[in-house]
Amino acid sequence: MEITLFSPLDMHLHLREGDMLKAITLPSINDFASAVVMPNLRDPVDTLEKVQTYRKQIESLVSEHAFEPLMTVFFRSFSRQELIALKSHIFAVKLYPAGVTTQSEKGISDFSAIEPTLEILQELKIPLLVHGETNGFVLDREKEFLPMVERMAQNFKDLRIVMEHISTRDSLRVLERYENIFATVTVQHLLFTLDDLAGGLLQPHLFCKPIVKRPADRQALLDAVLAGHPKIMFGSDSAPHPLDKKEAPGCAAGCFTAPIALPVLAELFERHEAMSRLQDFISGHAQTIHGLEPLPKPVRLKKEPYKVPQTFGSVVPLLAGHTLSWRVSSRGD
């Protein structure tokens, strides 16, 4: 059995920089037509110059593949002039509260100061992507941040807001309430709960932010995604860290899922008899929501056993060593 996905889009991707960028980008540029590239490098991508430099680094790896990086900038107070200059070079602005995830130290701590920039984003029709977590108790952070998202949605009704990597039922409720709020969902939040991370033995490769939640949260996300919820897009949040930063005390947050995303999703949608809705989750909804016209790129998957490699370079992928029932035809691993 085979399926073809047309122009798969990864609406939330960490490609990192330097050697890591070179080591881990191939699965993404092979399997996807386009990906929204996160700006949280060691030195955050928050100027036009940095966007252009980073885009060139990524494009130098693309070679014969059809793949378009959709660049983002790290939220700060931008002037109207800066955002006008940036607009044609970026897909969106990404807002991190300070300290909530990898390399977010320069994120926002004073939310009263962000409104002038939101005003300009709204005017220029630049989407706002939000890592919606507070610094509260780890399981409550997403829920605690929701009033902030709601306030933005109310005050800037024409601002397109994407709640990234949602992990709770609470976020789904807010998604219903506001026309201008959308969401991305990862593979790991569809597959796992805190029981998988820490209920038996502790599994560092399942550790990410937002942390995986309760079974009822996972089920609610899965139900919404499999039902074809039109405001929910796939965003892997694939976030590689080298093995020695994962299998050690002080394990970094992030699941490396780029190489397994399509096979896992095919398996999941097939198991739940929802295969007909995979195309929209992986591309259609994002095209409609954002008015994207991605590169035409058919990606074929075969129903054949795919043993997930133990490592890609220095990085252990999610489900390393497991055998999935679908593989991407054009990949040799």
Active site residues: 237
Q: Which of residues 216-255 bind a second copy (CB under 8 A)?
A: 247-253
Cβ proximity to a second copy: between 69 and 317 the closer is 317
Q: Measure the CA–CA gap between 82 and 90, rounded to whole angstroms.
A: 12
- The single residue among 197, 221, 232, 239 that binds a second copy, judged by CB under 8 A, is 197
Distances (CA, A) of 6 to 224, 237, 279, 284: 22, 20, 7, 9
Q: Which of residues 114-153 bind a second copy (CB under 8 A)?
A: 137-139
Q: Measure the CA–CA gap between 268 and 271, rounded to whole angstroms.
A: 5
Residues near 66 by beta carbon (within 8 Å), at least 6 away in sequence: 33, 295, 296, 297
Residue 136 Cβ, how far from a second copy at the closest point, in Å?
A: 9
- The single residue among 23, 61, 66, 198 that binds a second copy, judged by CB under 8 A, is 198
Distances (CA, A) of 33 to 187, 276, 306: 18, 20, 22
Residue 201 Cβ, how far from a second copy at the closest point, in Å?
A: 4
Return the bridge partners of 93, or none.
73, 128
Cβ proximity to a second copy: between 230 and 309 the closer is 309
Structure tokens at 90: 């970026």
Cβ proximity to a second copy: between 73 and 212 the closer is 212
Residue 147 Cβ, how far from a second copy at the closest point, in Å?
A: 20
Number of residues that bind a second copy (CB under 8 A): 26
Q: What are phi and psi of 74, to 5 degrees?
A: -75, 125
Q: Measure the CA–CA gap between 216 and 294, rounded to whole angstroms.
A: 34
Query: Should residue 316 be labelled a site residue for a second copy when binding is judged by CB under 8 A?
Result: yes
- The single residue among 57, 103, 203, 314 that binds a second copy, judged by CB under 8 A, is 203
Q: What would the x/- binding string for a second copy be over residues 252 to 291, using CB under 8 A?
A: xx--------------------------------------
- The single residue among 207, 256, 312, 326 that binds a second copy, judged by CB under 8 A, is 207
Query: Should residue 323 be labelled a site residue for a second copy when binding is judged by CB under 8 A?
Result: no
Eight-state DSSP code of residue 283: I
Own/partner contacts of 153-156, CB < 8 Å, gap of 24 or more, are 153/178, 153/180, 153/181, 154/178, 155/115, 155/118, 156/118, 156/119, 156/121, 156/122, 156/180
Residue 306 Cβ, how far from a second copy at the closest point, in Å?
A: 20
Instruction: Choose among 220, 188, 186, 219: nearest CA to 203.
Output: 188
Cβ proximity to a second copy: between 69 and 97 the closer is 97
Query: Should residue 193 be labelled a site residue for a second copy when binding is judged by CB under 8 A?
Result: yes
Query: Should residue 194 be labelled a site residue for a second copy when binding is judged by CB under 8 A?
Result: yes
| Residue appearing with tokens 């977590």 | 133
Residue 34 Cβ, how far from a second copy at the closest point, in Å?
A: 31
Distances (CA, A) of 182 to 39, 75, 317: 20, 18, 27
Query: Should residue 83 be labelled a site residue for a second copy when binding is judged by CB under 8 A?
Result: no
Query: Should residue 204 be labelled a site residue for a second copy when binding is judged by CB under 8 A?
Result: yes
Tell me the one-letter amino acid at 264.
V
Residues that bind a second copy (CB under 8 A): 137-139, 193-195, 197-199, 201-205, 207, 211, 214-215, 247-253, 316
